[in-house]
């Protein structure tokens, strides 16, 4: 390889100009006590089953949703109206919803200062259940599943609403997960109707325990699940993917790699264990509905699940306790996972838009990457790795002063940059066949985007096939 004098061994994700506002510093404000009191409050509604009362002032899903809305409004007032509350809903009938039922999400929207249409979403599901998924009457505390994820959402709103970000952050408490990912679908539809460019959904579902029923414990890892081959657009992608690759380079997979690296930089004593499948074996979560709509989405969940505590009637059987109660949670662990979320939201909302590169170089000794300029980029980093390597191994920092040219080129489908202008970087002596390539953008104050792979469907937006030639 030649001309790689700008090779970077390892560039940290966060190099902010002002130490007071780094994602790490912001995440320090996440409070264990605050998370505990949110979970306890959620449990106090008795049940938050989607088919429970919507009108009872104290018990049921309605009371829980109204309380969440009040919390968002309270934080919104404290920041001078920086949060807009929305309650998108749908009347649903389905396999687990026998009669038409209104299913409502509660969202707080923190509008970005310069790039408000670019959106990052943190979500958790507020609904709960017991053994029988149709039992809306029994106590269903749902402390960990998913009081923990909902607490992370509400605490993230409290902490991040004290700061301003170029892009928009959406805090989403979703209903109807246990009845069939209903709230995830309502959120995806809402995002589409608003015309949001959703670059990431961090879905948190069961993030507050660290020991399994067999006594095995792990409080040092959080699992991040991501889809491999992109589901949305798969029919249109299949032939191009077979020819050009990309089975391991969906935007969600690159979001997973980004979270892994961010966790290393943060030094929280919490590492990401990337799980390269969409969700746990045969099970699901709300991020799946965001993926169905073409939005990059991952699920964060504990390293070790405890099956005695999930989806269980409260009881003691043969001396074993069952049920999802507060006393079984690990709040120091929940704090770490929430800190990772908060830092990721701050970093993603501070970074530029994410490039959407293409690569050429078949039957050539060089590889050429091109992409449309993105808003807010001071420079770009071209990355590559062997096709069987799990993470990026080589990188080249390119800016106008080095390695980066601007060329006239036809506008690509779905691109947002100035018409007809593309950036180009040429890697001399790098043969395209043996590598996967990607590009990230870095803001003037050092915030780097996730890497978008130069593969079919690699861009952080819904896949649309290129126009026929
Ligand atoms: Zn759940």
97 CA to centre of ligand 1 in angstroms: 17
User: What three-state secondary structure class fits 15?
Assistant: coil
The phi-psi region of residue 180 (left if phi > 0; otherwise alpha if psi is between -120 and 50; otherwise beta) is left
149 CA to centre of ligand 1 in angstroms: 9
282 CA to centre of ligand 1 in angstroms: 14
The CATH 3.40.630.10 domain(s) of the chain lie at 19-350
Total residue count of the chain as it appears in this document: 469
For residues 342, 143, 226, 441, the Cα torsion angle rounded to the nearest 10 degrees is -10
402 CA to centre of ligand 1 in angstroms: 48
The CATH 2.60.40.10 domain(s) of the chain lie at 358-453
Beta pairing, strands 197-204 & 115-125: parallel
CB 103 within 8 A of CB 175: yes
pLDDT per residue, tens digit, the chain (469 aa), is: 333 433 443 444 444 444 458 999 999 999 999 999 999 999 999 999 999 999 999 999 999 999 999 999 999 999 999 999 999 999 999 999 999 999 999 999 999 999 999 999 999 999 999 999 999 999 999 999 999 999 999 999 999 999 999 999 999 999 999 999 999 999 999 999 999 999 999 999 999 999 999 999 999 999 999 999 999 999 999 999 999 999 999 999 999 999 999 999 999 999 999 999 999 999 999 999 999 999 999 999 999 999 999 999 999 999 999 999 999 999 999 999 999 999 999 999 999 999 999 999 989 999 999 999 998 999 999 999 999 999 999 999 998 777 788 776 655 555 555 556 899 999 999 999 999 999 999 999 999 999 999 999 999 999 998 777 5
Radius of gyration for the chain, computed over Cα atoms and rounded to the nearest angstrom: 22
User: What three-state secondary structure class fits 131?
Assistant: coil
Distance CA 371, CA 421 (A): 9
- The two tokens of residue 326 are 């507060």
Beta pairing, strands 115-125 & 89-94: unpaired
Q: 358-453 falls under which CATH superfamily?
A: Immunoglobulins (2.60.40.10)
323 CA to centre of ligand 1 in angstroms: 14
Angle at 437 between CA 436 and CA 439, to 5 degrees: 150
Cross-strand bridge partners of residue 399: 402, 403
CB 394 within 8 A of CB 384: yes
Q: pTM of the entire structure?
A: 0.94
56 CA to centre of ligand 1 in angstroms: 24
- According to CATH, what is the number of the domain 19-350? 3.40.630.10
124 CA to centre of ligand 1 in angstroms: 8
């Amino acid at each position: 390889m030649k001309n790689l004098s700008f090779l970077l061994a390892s560039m940290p994700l966060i190099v902010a100009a002002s130490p007071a506002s780094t994602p790490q510093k912001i995440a320090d404000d996440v409070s264990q006590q605050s998370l505990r009191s949110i979970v306890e409050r959620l449990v106090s509604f008795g049940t938050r089953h989607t088919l429970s009362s919507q009108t009872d002032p104290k018990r049921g899903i309605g009371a829980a949703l109204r309380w969440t809305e009040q919390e968002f409004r309270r934080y919104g007032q404290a920041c001078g109206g920086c949060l807009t509350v929305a309650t998108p809903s749908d009347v649903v009938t389905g396999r687990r919803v026998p009669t038409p039922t209104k299913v409502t999400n509660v969202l707080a929207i923190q509008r970005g200062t310069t790039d408000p249409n670019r959106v990052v979403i943190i979500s958790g599901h507020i609904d709960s259940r017991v053994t029988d998924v149709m039992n809306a009457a029994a106590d269903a505390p749902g402390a960990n599943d998913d009081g923990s994820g909902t607490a992370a959402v509400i605490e993230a709103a409290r902490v991040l609403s004290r700061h301003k970000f170029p892009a928009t952050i959406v805090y989403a408490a979703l209903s109807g997960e246990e009845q069939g990912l209903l709230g995830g679908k309502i959120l995806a539809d809402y995002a589409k109707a608003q015309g949001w460019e959703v670059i990431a959904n961090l879905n948190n579902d069961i993030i507050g325990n660290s020991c399994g029923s067999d006594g095995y414990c792990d409080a040092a890892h959080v699992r991040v699940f991501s889809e491999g081959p992109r589901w949305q657009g798969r029919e249109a992608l299949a032939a191009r993917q077979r020819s050009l690759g990309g089975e391991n380079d969906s935007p969600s997979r690159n979001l997973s790699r980004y979270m892994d690296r961010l966790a290393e930089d943060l030094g929280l004593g919490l590492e990401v264990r990337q799980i390269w499948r969409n969700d746990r074996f045969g099970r699901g979560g709300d991020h799946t509905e965001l993926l169905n709509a073409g939005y990059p989405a991952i699920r964060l969940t504990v390293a070790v699940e405890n099956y005695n505590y999930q989806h269980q009637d409260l009881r003691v059987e043969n001396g074993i306790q069952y049920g999802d109660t507060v006393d079984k949670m690990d709040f120091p662990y929940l704090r770490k996972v929430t800190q990772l979320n908060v830092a990721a939201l701050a970093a993603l909302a501070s970074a530029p838009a994410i490039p959407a590169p293409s690569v050429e170089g078949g039957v050539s000794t060089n590889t050429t990457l091109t992409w449309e300029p993105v808003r807010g980029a001071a420079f770009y980093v071209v990355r590559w790795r062997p096709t069987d390597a799990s993470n990026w191994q080589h990188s080249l920092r390119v800016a106008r002063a080095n390695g980066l040219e601007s060329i006239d080129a036809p506008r690509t489908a779905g691109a947002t940059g100035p018409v007809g202008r593309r950036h180009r970087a040429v890697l001399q002596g790098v043969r395209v066949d043996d590598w996967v390539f990607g590009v990230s953008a870095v803001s003037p104050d050092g915030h780097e985007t996730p890497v978008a792979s130069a593969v079919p469907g690699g861009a952080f937006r819904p896949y649309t096939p290129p126009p026929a030639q």
